[in-house]
Amino acid sequence: MKKLLLIILLFVCFGCKNTSEEKTDTTTYYLIRHAEKDKSDPSNKNPKLIEKGLKRAKNWSNHFKKVDFDAIYSTNYKRTIETALPTATHQDLEITSYNPRTLDIKAFLEKTKNQTVLIVGHSNSTPAFVNKMIGEEKYDTIDETINSKLFMVTINKGKTTSKVIEVD
């Protein structure tokens, strides 16, 4: 009986060790464009989300409810912050501001290594961010009418993969 308990204990311990090692070897980034913004005043450079956008922000939160984020990043605009807020609230995380124009991609990747991260940006900055992460010009600017693209970048043991999916 003691041998059986010892075998079970060893199996559980080694199983836990392998699981944690796998997690620490993987970094996953989820990148989205902000939800639908108020376009009624073209001179307003920092508009809020419209009702449809607020609904989409809640839908993103529902989409991500099974994802355990370590960090959430957003540009410092009302529309991106409002898009990130439902997910941040649900995950009990603060939103960290970033500037895509001054972002040091190498420092960012090192800071977020082995984490699961949500990044909310814009039609131009989101694909550009992904391109920097993967080291190639693979993704074009998102059309202004599209707010449903989810870019996923995974780095596992030095290998980087990316994909895009549409989320309604």
User: Per-residue pLDDT tens for 26-74?
Assistant: 999 999 999 999 999 999 999 999 999 999 999 999 999 999 999 999 9
- Look up residue 32 and give its DSSP letter: E
Q: Does residue 3 carry a pLDDT above 70? A: no
Q: Does residue 20 carry a pLDDT above 70? A: no
- Look up residue 110 and give its DSSP letter: H
Per-residue model confidence (pLDDT) at position 16: 46
Higher-scoring residue by pLDDT: 76, 23: 76
Sheet holding 159-166, edge to edge: 95-97, 71-74, 116-121, 26-33, 149-156, 159-166
Q: Which residues, at least 6 apart from 120, have a Cβ–Cβ distance to it below 8 Å?
A: 31, 32, 33, 34, 72, 73, 74, 75, 80, 81, 83, 84
Average pLDDT over residues 110-134: 98
pTM: 0.86
168 pLDDT tier (thresholds 50, 70, 90): confident
Residue 2, CA atoms < 13 Å, CB-side half-sphere: 0
Domains of the chain: 26-166 (3.40.50.1240)
Q: Does residue 19 carry a pLDDT above 60? A: no
Token duo for residue 83: 């898009």
